[in-house]
Structure 1
Amino acid sequence: MDPSTMSGEGARSLRADGTRSASTQCAAIVLNQTLRLEIQLLENSLSINKLEKQIMVQNLEITNLQEKNSFLEQKVLEMEGKHESELESMKMEKLEMLELLLKQRTITGELEKHPSTVMGNSDHATSDDRITLL
């Protein structure tokens, strides 16, 4: 129908229907876009929650690794201290052995200088005396 041929009231009615229809379409478009934005917002919120959870798990793993690392570092320090102590003990033992060896060489050298004296005395010496000589 052509609005120019219609009566004034009929034309107004068509225009009102068209305006309502356009207004309803516009409201539907706005509602549709709003719903899409709300869905995106929820999806983003879900993604953020997942990422926050991953960060919390990683932070927990990092903390556990730091604790293990501290424990291992402490063990290494204890072992180093123990080995250092053992090494010092071995050095002292080596020095004592060298001193004993030096004494033994000195005694052996003295005995070699006077073999007849040692041989002559050995007949009269007891077994305890022989040990003392050495």
Structure 2
Amino acid sequence: MHIPFKTLLISAVLLVSHSAVHAKDPKETHSWSCNNNHQLKTIGDGGANIGLVWNAKTYEMKREVSLPGSLRYKNHDTGLDLVVLGNKAMLFNIRSGVRLADYCQTADMKTGKEPHLFAKE
């Protein structure tokens, strides 16, 4: 069966454009509400690096190996350590040994969905 080159080219362009339209935005921002009225935001889809907005500053967080069922993102320069479980996230400063934010959830997590960061796991 011979398929004309022009037909193959058009099919390839349509496939690529469809994928681009339906792909998640790697700069997607998610707001998290935490206990004690703390707020944080994550930027990205859970790949190797994400952005973390905490106290009006943005930090680059690198994904690190973690226990099964959890994710961990760290910024070694500042000591920030974001631990994400299936039902909550916690933000620590591992330099000072302080938990900065506890029981953080996105709006989706409050309805029982997994954290969006797990999509890249």
TM-score range, shorter chain: under 0.3
Answer 1 or 2: higher relative contact order, Cα 8 Å, separation at least 6: 2
The structure with the largest helix share of the pair is: 1
Please report the TM-score for the alignment, with normalisation by the length of structure 2.
0.27
Query: Who wins on radius of gyration, i.e. which is larger?
Result: 1
Q: TM-score, with normalisation over the residues of structure 1?
A: 0.25
